[in-house]
A and B are shown apart, each in its own frame.
Chain A
């Protein structure tokens, strides 16, 4: 059975750190980075060292600023 693997790319300069994606992620893989971007907003990062992200797009759909691109692949 194939396994679905996903990855997200967060546009850190566009992110405003509202944390809505962190709440929306069913696996709680997104968290504040503790850093701020050039506009002064604390941006979020995905912490997915184990590769658990499934690319469900929930984080990207709730993102008000369209910062998140989602990639998904079905591996054999």
Chain B
């Protein structure tokens, strides 16, 4: 069987999700955002919620998320995505409402909105991309930057006595009464991507079933900010990020 015979529409087993349009993504090569965008689009498609999904895009690298996934989007002021999501979900309880935020947006300027929205148990899902750096503005130190990690604003590495400790927002969220499902995932391998997809699906289902708020943290790479190639960035993340940000479910109230 020749290659041309294999490439036939009936043999197609995987392609870009149809919800993702053909716009060129502005992300750097190898950026984890692209994979997470694909997962979000796939899950919404599989749940049949194409016409009922509303995403809240943040300020940060993923500010243009609305250009790539063909669902309804609302742009939020920096860090205020969970507050906007609260309003939209309360006005339209039958919609799937999720926010898509980076660590600078969610864990720094938007900490108050994030914690209070989660604590109120709003039926929303927060997708939290944690790459331990401010990617869009040029690789400055973020609250999630690891101790010793070099960024443009801590060129000698982050020091606890000078800059404080990295913020584990997901661990904080797991202690809140309003949260239903809090998990930390990654997208560096095929197996991790499948797990992350299952986590996003579970979070979306919980928010549609009115079980409370859901937080899915995706530990991600920022090859430009870390000054590594995409392949090296994945290795660096596995070696340095995972010991401090261990993967797995932190809270799941759907399991009794």
Residue from the list A9, A19, A62, A67 in contact with B190, Cβ < 8 A: A62
How many contacting A-B pairs (Cβ < 8 A)?
A: 95
Q: Are B190 and A73 in contact (CB under 8 A)?
A: no
Q: Are A66 and B33 in contact (CB under 8 A)?
A: no
**How far does the Cβ of A29 sit from chain B's closest Cβ, in whole Å?**
12
Mark interface residues in B117-132 (1 if CB within 8 Å of A CB, else 0). 0000000000000000
Q: Are A75 and B1 in contact (CB under 8 A)?
A: yes
Residue from the list B1, B6, B7, B20 in contact with A66, Cβ < 8 A: B20
Whole-angstrom CA separation of A60 from B190 in the bound complex: 9
- Interface bracket on B: 35 or more
Residue A31 is within 8 A (CB to CB) of chain B in the complex: no
User: Which residues of chain A are within 8 angstroms of B35 by Cβ–Cβ distance?
Assistant: 62-64
Q: Are A69 and B12 in contact (CB under 8 A)?
A: yes
Q: Tell me whether A71 and B13 are in contact in the complex, defined as CB-CB below 8 angstroms, given that A9-B7, A62-B35, A64-B30 are known contacts.
A: yes
Chain B 94-130 residues near chain A, CB threshold 8 A? none
Q: Tell me whether A64 and B190 are in contact in the complex, defined as CB-CB below 8 angstroms, given that A5-B1, A69-B14, A73-B6 are known contacts.
A: no
Instruction: Return the 8 tightest CB-CB contacts between A and B, nearest first.
Output: A64-B34, A18-B30, A66-B16, A16-B29, A18-B29, A18-B230, A70-B14, A7-B6
